[in-house]
Amino acid sequence: MPFYEYRCRDCIASFELFRSISQRDNVATCPHCSSENSSRMVSIPVMFSQSTDGAIRTVAGGPSGCGSCSATSCGTCSSN
């Protein structure tokens, strides 16, 4: 079962729920204010790769390590 990310429309808090795919659009109660006025957010999946020496690295979706990266450029680490 995957994690789904939601945002409360009342208190603007973000939270995750571990749910089955069939439950992803069910009402999600905010753990901060108990409101049921929330919406599911689009999240970037994270993928990992393990090398033959056992090292695990992020392949996609994880933090980049650059302070000012965007979808199209990375200002502080010169990755474009």
In the chain, where the domains are located: 3-40
Phi first, then psi, for residue 21 (nearest 5°) are -60, -35
Instruction: Give the contacts of 59 (CB within 8 A, at least 6 positions apart).
Output: 47, 48, 49
pTM score above 0.75: no
Predicted local distance difference test score (pLDDT) of residue 45: 72
Pick 42 or 70 by higher pLDDT: 42
**Encoded tokens for 75:** 């200002």
Q: Check pLDDT > 90 for residue 12.
A: yes
What is the average per-residue pLDDT within 15-27?
A: 93
**Encoded tokens for 18:** 């571990």
Q: Calculate what percentage of the chain has a pLDDT beyond 70.
A: 72
